[in-house]
Structure formats: C-alpha cells, structure tokens
C-alpha cells in the first residue's frame, strides 16, 4: 500500500497499562493528528465475540465475527455496528480475554489492513503492541513505553474503581503479567520494541511529563532534519 510521505506517522507501543493510549491521545490533540486506538479495535471484536458466546479459541467462529463487524470512531467514541461501545469494551471481562482474540491470525490481518488504510492518507498517531514492528514499520517516529507491572496494575485499579468495578491490586497485577506473557509470546506480531524505537519508562512519570518528553524528541529531530 502506498503512503504519502508528506504525511507523518507516529507509532507508540508498549504493554498494557504503560500509558500509551492516554499519551497518544494527548499528543494527537497537541499536534492536530488523527489518533487511532488499535487496542479499542481488538477490544470491540472481543466484546462482540463474548456477546455472541462463541469459543474464543475457534478460528472459524472468530472469522465470522471479524468479517462482519463494523468498527467506527466518532471523535472519542468507539462504535460497534453503530452502537456506542466505548465504556463496554473497558469492562474487566473484555480485558481478560482481548489477548486471546488478538492472537488470532485472521483477526490481526483484518485489523491491520484497516489501520494501514487509515494511516495511508492522514497524519496519524497509532498505539498498540506491534505498531512500530508490524503495522507501521516505516513510521517517522517510534516510541516504546514501559512501566513496572505493579504500577500498571495500580493505574488500572484506579480506573476500574472510578467506574464502579471492584477488584484488588494482587489480582490485577497477575492479570497484567499474564497479558504481557500472552502478548509477547503470540506467534503473530508479538509485543516487541522496534529496533529503532525510543524506550521511555513511565513508572515515575505523570502523563503530562511523558507527553512533553515525546514532544521534545519530535521537535529536536525536526530541527536536526531541517538543519
């Protein structure tokens, strides 16, 4: 697929809870870019699969889901077959199962094609687990955000508590460590840092500090390239 090289692509990867989605969204607002939450796309497929009560380990059943689902973004809202599912895809049951769905080769092929199509004609910031290595391997800027499992679990605990879900830090830490394992060991486009990505540990940083760090890197590189 051809890409307009006058456009800019920014890839932000990292494990669950590293802050990549929030950082990507804020960075897109500052730069005036389109923000594409790839994780939300996989979560939407997972939500429909769970509602359909299919076996998540059945490739043919997943194929039937992903080949017929319509995923759209309306500003900061996520639509599944025209239904606003923005909050529903963040439910704990979806979080526990999304890695299984994202492992499926056909699911990834369909999602990646959609993501690359969007990035081919817009200035875009895309976050996920394999953006810099697989989806946008020629992205102009690549970042890989990390944080300790305990810190990521604490962030998730605060998010869930704010939405009225009850759980505990130990359970969430185990779930995050399992997601890391599944995402890193999957056969198709696993979670990995691209060789040319800049790694930033967000454990002790707040969102604004991370956004400012990325902006500084982008601006400094622009200055060098224009010199």
Whether the full predicted model's pTM is greater than 0.85, yes or no, is no
Indicate the length of the chain as a whole number.
227
pLDDT at position 226, please?
47
Q: Is residue 23 part of a domain?
A: yes
pLDDT at position 5, please?
60
pLDDT at position 222, please?
63
pLDDT at position 96, please?
92
Q: Is residue 28 part of a domain?
A: yes
211-214 — which CB contacts under 8 Å span 24+ positions?
A: 211/23, 211/26, 211/27, 211/30, 214/12, 214/23, 214/27, 214/143
Q: Is residue 70 part of a domain?
A: yes
pLDDT in tens, 152-177: 999 999 988 998 888 899 999 999 99
Helix (H) or strand (E) holding 71: strand 71-74
List of the chain residues with pLDDT < 50: 1-3, 223-227
Q: Is 17 annotated as a binding residue?
A: yes
* Domain extent for 49: 9-216
- Residue 170 has a CB neighbour count (10 Å cut-off) of 10
Q: Is residue 207 part of a domain?
A: yes
Q: Is residue 224 part of a domain?
A: no
pLDDT at position 221, please?
79
pLDDT at position 4, please?
53
- Residue 8 has a CB neighbour count (10 Å cut-off) of 18
Q: Is 14 annotated as a binding residue?
A: yes
Pairing label, strands 124-128, 77-80: unpaired
pLDDT at position 76, please?
77
Helix (H) or strand (E) holding 144: strand 141-146
Q: Is 92 annotated as a binding residue?
A: no
Q: Is residue 4 part of a domain?
A: no
Q: Is 21 annotated as a binding residue?
A: yes
Q: Is residue 50 part of a domain?
A: yes
Distance CA 140, CA 102 (A): 25
Based on the structure, what is the number of domains in the chain?
1
Q: Is residue 162 part of a domain?
A: yes
Q: Is 18 annotated as a binding residue?
A: yes
Q: Is 20 annotated as a binding residue?
A: yes
Tell me if 4 sits within 8 A of 120, measured CB to CB: yes
217-226 burial, b at 16+ Cβ within 10 Å, e below that, comes to ebeeeeeeee
Q: Is 132 annotated as a binding residue?
A: no
Q: Residue 91's domain is classified under what CATH number?
A: 3.40.50.300
pLDDT at position 165, please?
86
């Amino acid at each position: 697929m051809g890409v307009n090289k006058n456009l800019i692509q920014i890839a932000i990867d990292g494990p669950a809870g590293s802050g990549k989605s929030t950082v990507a969204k804020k960075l897109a607002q500052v730069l005036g870019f389109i923000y594409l939450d790839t994780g939300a796309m996989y979560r939407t497929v997972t939500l429909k699969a769970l509602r359909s009560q299919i076996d998540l380990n059945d490739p043919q059943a997943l194929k039937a889901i992903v080949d017929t689902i319509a995923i759209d973004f309306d500003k900061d809202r996520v639509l599944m077959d025209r239904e606003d599912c923005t909050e529903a895809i963040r439910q704990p049951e979806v979080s526990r199962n999304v890695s299984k769905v994202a492992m499926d080769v056909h699911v990834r092929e369909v999602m990646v094609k959609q993501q690359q199509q969007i990035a081919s004609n817009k200035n875009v910031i895309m976050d996920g687990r394999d953006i810099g290595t697989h989806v946008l391997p020629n992205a102009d800027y690549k970042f890989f955000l990390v944080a300790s499992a305990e810190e990521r679990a604490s962030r998730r605990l605060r998010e869930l508590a704010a939405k009225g879900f009850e759980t505990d830090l130990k359970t969430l830490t185990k779930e995050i460590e399992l997601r890391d394992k599944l995402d890193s060991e999957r056969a198709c486009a696993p979670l990995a840092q691209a060789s040319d990505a800049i790694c930033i540990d967000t454990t002790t940083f707040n969102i604004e500090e991370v956004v400012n760090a990325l902006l500084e890197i982008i601006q400094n590189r622009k200055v060098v390239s224009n010199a």
